Amino acid sequence: MTQYSAVLPAKITSNESSVKDQAIGIFDSGVGGLSIAKCIHQYLPNESLIYVADSLFAPYGDKSSTVIIERVNKLADWLIKQNVKAIVVACNTATVIAIDQLRSRVNIPIIGVEPAIKPAALHSKTQRIALLVTEATAINHRFLALVNKHKNGAQTIIQPCAGLVELIEQGLHESKECRLLLNDLLQPLLKNNIDKLVLGCTHYPFVGTMIQEIIGDKITIMETALPVTEQLMRQLSDNNLLASGDHVFQQTFFSSQVTHHQEKLMSTLFEKKSSLQPLPLL
């Protein structure tokens, strides 16, 4: 098994300051991870970002663990070759299935995304919470163990959301079709007196407004963009890797299946004009 190490000196000297200004790598099966990338840019505006949408293999939610692990390793290896200083696995499915083995392979900071189960359970007054996840996440043993560990006695309802990622990837996140699907997924949850709804996929915040309209203001939606960003900030600080104050932000977006539609969608979701480059065949 290939072992990768980044050049991370214990203490960066002035001659090595360029290491701090290396980009942060972020990847997802598609555009969903932009919800994480946007938050990172908001709180770390000097950091450059390389974002990879593995759209040729999207969605990960209906793929086998073997396929997901293979894709995660290939994407991480490619990002390391681009000299990224840290990697954010901006995908809940990829995190629960592949992050442990990825961390065993590489020696740069690897930040994953996990649903906000613990804070949801701690702050639930009805002691009933629901989690919206992909099909692969819903049956993953690591995810189920995480739920059991952090549910704090709360009743937890796990709702797989087949088809939702695909609609978002098609740019139909504001469509009537998307609203109908969300209504079908959410109505059964409302009958269970939940007061916290955890978004267990990085795509789902892009339909957060529509979800809130359906469930009403008495149920709190919880997602993980800010906790992931805070963990990234801690990791960069601990490794003396925060970008220098005068470093100018740059963004580079790649996709394993470039289309004009996706380029336009990514610019819309990231809220910044972005050009999309083809990811080399991996």
Q: Which residues are catalytic?
A: 91, 201
- In angstroms, the CA 80 to CA 91 distance is 18
Question: Coil, strand or helix: which one is 128?
Answer: strand
- Spatial CA neighbour of 76 closest among 115, 38, 50: 50
Helix intervals (H) in the chain: 34-43, 65-81, 92-105, 117-123, 135-138, 141-150, 164-169, 176-190, 208-215, 225-238, 260-270
Question: Coil, strand or helix: which one is 47?
Answer: coil
- In angstroms, the CA 200 to CA 242 distance is 28
Structure tokens at 230: 């805070």
| Rg of the chain over all Cα atoms, to the nearest angstrom | 19
